[in-house]
Each structure stands twice: as C-alpha cells, then as structure tokens.
Amino acid sequence: MEHDRRNLLKGYNMLLYFAGSMIMSEPTDECVIDFWTSGTLRRLPVSSSNPRFLKAASILRDICTDKVICRQMLSEDYFTLFAENGLPLAPARASIYLADKNKGVAVEREISEFYNSYSWQPIKPGKPSDHIGIELLFLTGLIEKYLLLDDEPCCCEMKKEICRFIGNCILPWIPSWNEAVQEHAHTQSYKGICTLIYACTEDLYGLFSISEVR
C-alpha cells in the first residue's frame, strides 16, 4: 500500500509538471511529441474517481494526433489565453481573480512568503510569483520533499503545509480561471489541461488531508 501511495503521488507530480509547463510558455515540438502524438496522454499515470479528472482524461485522450496541426493550434490558443505581453483572455495569475475581493496583493505576498520559507527560487524568474505554472512547480517540489521524509512528525507537518498551500494559494482562484479557459479556449487541449490542473489539485488536497496518506 505504501508503495502504491508513493507511486500515486509521483503520478500526480508528473501530470502537474506537464500541465504547468503548457501554461508557463508556448508549447514546443518536443512537448507535443512527448505528450500527445506519442500517446502518453492516453496512458495517464493516475486513476481518479473525481468527475473533473475523468472529464479531463477523456478530453486529453482523444485529441491532437497530427503534430504540425496540434502545435499550431496550441500555440495560437496559448497566446490568446495566457500570453502576458498582450491582453490574455484567461490570465493564469491568482491576484487577477482575487482582485475583486481586495486580496490580489495579499495573495501574491502570501505565495511569495511560502517560497521564501523554503528558500525556493522559481526557475522562471521572469514569471510573477502567483502564476499557476510557478505555483505548480513549487507544489511538486513540496511533494518531492514529502516523499523523501521518513520521520512521522515531519511527514505530518509537511502534509499540513501542502494542504495550506493548495487551500490558500491555488483552490481559491482555480475555479474562476478554469471557467475563463472553458469559455475562451479554441482547442479542447487547453480546456482539458486546465480541468486537469483543477482536478489534480483537488485530489491532492484530499489525499494530504486524510491521515492514511504517508
């Protein structure tokens, strides 16, 4: 059982790393080949009963078989939805969706404080701290740290930290962001990717909230 749980968490980390990279920058040929045209997304490393996860998996399994067309469509959608040098229709930043509640600045500061508490520096220094791609990189790092721990009290504390980060810094705005993507995306690919991010963070929050996870 322990081995299965560890593999499950590693599987979620792989999905978040893939999904975050697709939001972080324009999709590359390598990314398209590795995840779509090679069939990787038809063999997801995680099984989940979360309806959102099942929906995302269904979308991602049935699209993008032609590499050239896939890359072109993904690039066009990326710039329409997320590019920061224009007027993106679904900007991938927490502060934008929480600004109406006067929490935009506060949440960006809270996210930065999380990073600083672990002496963590994003590998994409040009991206704002509240960008979903940066947040997911940090989250996968926390999970990797958790998987290396063998002390029960430390594991319990890390579980709390992971839940706190997801609950405070990701889940409050991901539903609104996902709605914007579903409304404005031209490709099923990005609709599936953003739904996958939503589902994976929900699943991980649930997994780390229960005592059985170790």
User: pLDDT digit string (tens) for 103-149?
Assistant: 556 788 889 999 999 999 877 667 889 999 999 999 999 999 999 99
Q: How distant, in Å, are the alpha carbons of 25, 27, 63, 115 from that of 22?
A: 6, 6, 15, 22
Q: Is the pLDDT of residue 36 over 70?
A: no
Interior angle at CA 116, CA 115 and CA 117, nearest 5: 95
21: nearest Cα among 146, 190, 178: 190
Structure confidence at residue 213 (pLDDT) = 47
- Per-residue pLDDT, 207: 93
Pick the more confident residue, 105 or 163: 163
**pLDDT tens-digit series, residues 187-206:** 888 999 999 999 999 999 99
